[in-house]
Structures are given as C-alpha cells and as structure tokens.
Chains A and B, each alone.
Chain A
Amino acid sequence: MIEVSHLTREYSGRPAVSDLSFTVEDGQVYGLLGPNGAGKSTIMNIITGYLAATSGTVTVDGHPLPEEADAAKACIGYLPETPPLYPEMTVQEYLTFAAELKGVKRAERTAQVEKAARRTGLTEVMPRLIRNLSKGYRQRVGIAQALLGHPKVIILDEPTVGLDPAQVIEIRRLIRELGQGHTVIFSSHILSEVQAVCTRVLILSHGHLVAEGTPQELSAQLGPHGVLHATALGSWSAVAAAVRRVKGIQSVEMESEENGEVAFTARSASGEDLRAAVSQALAAAGCAVLNLTAETLSLEDIFLELTEPEEAETDNQETTGEEE
C-alpha cells in the first residue's frame, strides 16, 4: 500500500529522517513508535504530501510522490498532530466542507458525514461551534474528518495525546475498529497503546528505523534471553546448590526467602531455555518447584533497549523537538 525507500528529510541541513525504508501492507494497524524528536511527524507529513522528501521515494497505492500527489492524497485520510479545525465553523459545516474538499460527491456527502460522525460519537455535537468543543471532541472531529471519502489508508499522528483515560480507551477501540476496514498508521510514544492496538510496530530513533515487526516478533528478535524466575520450597543454600549444578547456568540470585519458600532468578550463559533442566534438578534435590517462568521482554524493554543508548549520547539535542 505504501512503499518508502531510502527516505531522507533535512531541516536546514539537520537530518530529521535519514535513509529510511519500509513497506506498509494492506489491512494492518501500524504503530510508529519513538521518543519525541524521532521523526514520526516528519514521516507522516511526507507520506501525506504535506512536506517533500530531501531524497528517496514514497509510493502510495502505486502513485509516486510528488508526481501523482493528487491521486496519492485521495487514498489517505490524515489527522495531523494538531487537528486542522476552523473554530468559527460548526461540526456539521466543517465535516461537510472536508467531504467536499476530498471530492465526495454531493449525493453521498450527507450520508458520509453522518456515518463518520456516528463512528466517532459526534452526532450530538453536530450543530455546535468547534470553538466551544472540548479537546476530546476536537480530536474526534479531526478523526471524523480523516474518515471522509473512504480513504484506503488512515494516518493518525498521536491521536490520544492530551485526552483523559476514558477518551483514550475509546479512541483505541476506534482505531482497532478502523483497522478492520482500512490500513491504519498511527504514531505514539506510549508503549502500552501500541501494544494494545497494533498488529505491526515500527520503532524509530533519531530518524532511523531501528526495528520492525509484530510485537511478538520484536520480542523474539532480541534473541534468546535465558532469564528465568522461579520459586521453590526449601532453604536458599540447598536450592542454590541444586541450580548451580545444572549445566549452562551462569548465575543464581536470590530475590526473597520467607516461610521456607525461596524466590530466585537464574541466568543461563548461552541464553538457552533451561526451565526443564532446572525443575528436574530442583526435584532431584527434594525442593518442590512452586513457580517457574522464563522472562519475556515487553515492548517497553525492547523500546528502551533500542532507543536508549543513543538517546543518552545526544540528550542535549532532544529538546529541539521534531518540527524544524
């Protein structure tokens, strides 16, 4: 649906995005994840044709940018970081204007506006001036605007920023729902959100794509991890001795010991999964195993692992933000 190859964008010589390539497949929900200033908004602005790339190519549904910009733009519904609203219009007027702007035929306009309003829960505020709406409603008007004209791709730039928790949940539900009929790309710096909503994740750091895949793939991509947490009955010395005897174990650390239960963390040298061997060794030593789990990385760990080392080096630049 969208192909981005070797995309570079500079703001007066300073690269915001450098040599980025990825492909967006049909019918998926993509999460664009990255700390502030990673280039998320820049990428979205380029895909939607608002900005031009310094070098590299972007193709939307077979239409290269900027040569066939109008055809490409017709496939995309876009909610920028700041919803582009005219405060002096009512919601009804605004959505009708947006539908006309997107070339929705006169006969379908009313029906489409109504449908978009229903999906985003705006039906009751249609006659109100946008000026008088709360932040949550404004965001929804912005999303409703992006739905008009049946775009194949819907791009949402940080759609949940500044909303209260109930609204955030509602928007996430809406995004999941949109994912059934459209390809959705949305950006966020909130990990739980991406984990909850996306089928694929792109992680950006300082304008580079550092990882791509499903949330599960990303966990696996970081390789065997070989850390297990366990609780066993018995004294710490007996348990530690039994675990240390297992071939491949590098270290054993006690987490707690109370009421004859020992909780510990064991690490294998090669990253191999040693759960079976550890449970057998403990059983042989007469220590019953109460709990044994291998540690899996959450998206948060992956995110920090991928973005943090660089972030620490260039921490000072971080304050300059992502727009110019």
Chain B
Amino acid sequence: MTAILKREFRSSFSGMMGWLLTAFLTAASALYFFANNLSFGLTDFGYYTLYQTVFVLLVYVPVLAMRSFAEEKHSRTDQLLLTSPVSVWGIVLGKYLAMCAVFALPCLADGVLIVVLRALGSTNTALLSNFSSLLCYYLLGCAAIAICEFLSSLTENQIIAAVLGFGALLLTYLMPGLQSLFNAGSVVALVAFTVLAAAASLGAGLRSRSFTLGCFLFAALAVGIAVLFTVRSAWLTEAFSSVLGALALFSPFEDFVNGSFSIPALVYYISAAGLFLFFTAQGIEKRRWN
C-alpha cells in the first residue's frame, strides 16, 4: 500500500497536474482571504474564505481523482497492481490516501493564512474555530475524493470520470435547494418513490432474467407505497426529505462554519468516504468476474 501511495503522490507532481491543482485551490483561498478577511478585518476564516470557496472543490476534486483508476485501466497498468501481492483494499486505500495527501497541501496553505490572522490580532477562540472549520473542510474534500475515485473506477476514460464526478458533486451541492423544491407536497414524494421502486424492480427483473419477478416486486412495492401514502402521507414526505438530506454532502460543513464543532458532521464525512471506498473495492473485485 505504501508503495502505491508514494508512487501516486510522486506521479501527481511529476506532471503539471498536481502543481496546477494546488496553485488553483491556493489562489482561490488567497483571493477570498485578501478580499474578505484582510480588507474588512474579519477574523472568521471558515465562513469568509472556506465556505465561500467551497464550490471550487466541484472542479478541483473531480480533476484530482479522474486519473486514479480510469488511467490505470486505460493503459493496462492495473494488471501490475492486481497481480501483485497487494489486496484490492490496499490498492484503493493507497490511491485514496495519496489524493488526500495532495489535497492536504492547499489546506496547509490555508492553515498558514489562519496563523497569519492570529498574528494580525485575532483571538484564540477565532483561531480554534478557524482550525476546526479547516478540519471539516478537509474531511469534506476527502469524502468528495472518495466519491470521485469510485466514479473513476467505473470507466476507462478520464474525461468521463471527471464529468461524472463534477455532475455528482454538483448534485450534492445543489441538494439543499432541490430538497426544498420537493418538500412542496407528498405527491412529489409518492412519484419519486414510485420511480425508485420501478427502477429497483427493473434492475431485479433484468438481474434475475425473470419478467414475473420484476412485475411482482414492483406490484408489492407500489402497494406498500400507496398504503403509506393514504395512511401516513407525512412519513413519506419526511423519509424522502431525509434521504435527500443525507445526499447533501456540503450541508454538514455549515455547522462548522457557524462556529460550532459538530461531531455528527465529522462522522458523516468519514462514513461517506468509507462507504465509497468500499464501493470502489467491491467494483474492482467484481470486474474480475465479468
């Protein structure tokens, strides 16, 4: 695993990409730092710099992670990794930690900016709050990296991996807005759950090559949803809204920005990263079979 980690990290900086990405993110932070924190004398680095520039991650992370598996598959170097005595988990983690290390560099630069604020006279409380925001920002980025690494493992084409990653992150970024849109009524929730049930039944039907099974599954699910809708329509709306809420990757970060240290937010990011790394490992394992 350490061999892969070291190689990945070095190869990020053997070309332009690593330098360019680091410069890009640092420049974005520095710009907002000067425009907000320095010009107006604001000590809240978390809100005025990190939260304002968080959208930059929508581009940074997909580009950082697009190469991870897509390029290996394209140039067939995955054969070297997968036939070496390293477990699939070792490969997935090695690549992931290397990307997290690359992402740590601009975060270190942010750390320096926070120290600069302290030197310019911010309070110790502000310093702590700024650093805890930075920690959450870093974990948010790491969770996004896991999502994009998973997407990269699905395709052989780096560009497709980047576009998929951007699309997925954009969706999670816009999710709070979408959520309020769907909160309008339980009918929307009914439709959404019915579509989900149809998709699940179609998948099950195709997977088992049985038309009857698919139909029965859909019928059962539809009856369940209909009963819920008539008896407890509020449940349906809440369930739908909480599912959407869980997909809003960028929302828990707001807790930190508002000055509170939120353990659930940290747990959320770490488990999101773990979940997608698990998916990545499973996906690679599955590829051996078909």
Contacts and interface: CB of A to CB of B under 8 A. Distances in A.
B83 A73 contact: yes
Interface in B1-26: 2-4, 6-7, 10-11, 14-15
Given A78-B79, A80-B79, A101-B4, A73 B288 contact: no
Contact of A101 (B11, B79, B86): B86
Contacts of A66: 288
A196 interface: no
Contacts of A87: 75
A71 B11 contact: no
A11 B288 CA distance: 11
B264 interface: no
Given A70-B85, A71-B85, A102-B85, A12 B80 contact: no
A274 interface: no
A100 B83 contact: no
A54 B3 CA distance: 31
Nearest to A80: B79
Interface residues of A, number: 32
A78 B87 CA distance: 17
Given A80-B79, A97-B6, 12 more contacts: A50-B288, A51-B288, A73-B83, A73-B85, A80-B83, A84-B75, A84-B79, A85-B75, A86-B75, A97-B3, A101-B80, A101-B86
B200 interface: no
A98 to B, nearest CB: 7
Interface in A78-119: 78, 80, 82, 84-89, 93, 97-98, 100-103
A74 B83 CA distance: 9
A78 B85 CA distance: 12
A82 B15 CA distance: 23
B40 interface: no
B155 to A, nearest CB: 15
Interface residues of B, number: 25
Contact of B7 (A51, A71, A73, A97): A97
Contact of A48 (B77, B83, B87): B83
A24 interface: no
Interface of A: 11-12, 45, 48-52, 54, 66, 70-71, 73-74, 76, 78, 80, 82, 84-89, 93, 97-98, 100-103, 145
Nearest to A74: B85
Contacts of A12: 290
Of A54, A66, A85, A97, the most chain B CB neighbours within 10 A belong to A97
Contact of A84 (B10, B80, B85): B80
Nearest to B84: A101
A76 B7 contact: no
Given A50-B288, A51-B288, A97-B3, A86 B11 contact: yes
Nearest to B7: A97
Interface string B255-290: 000000000000000000000000000000000111
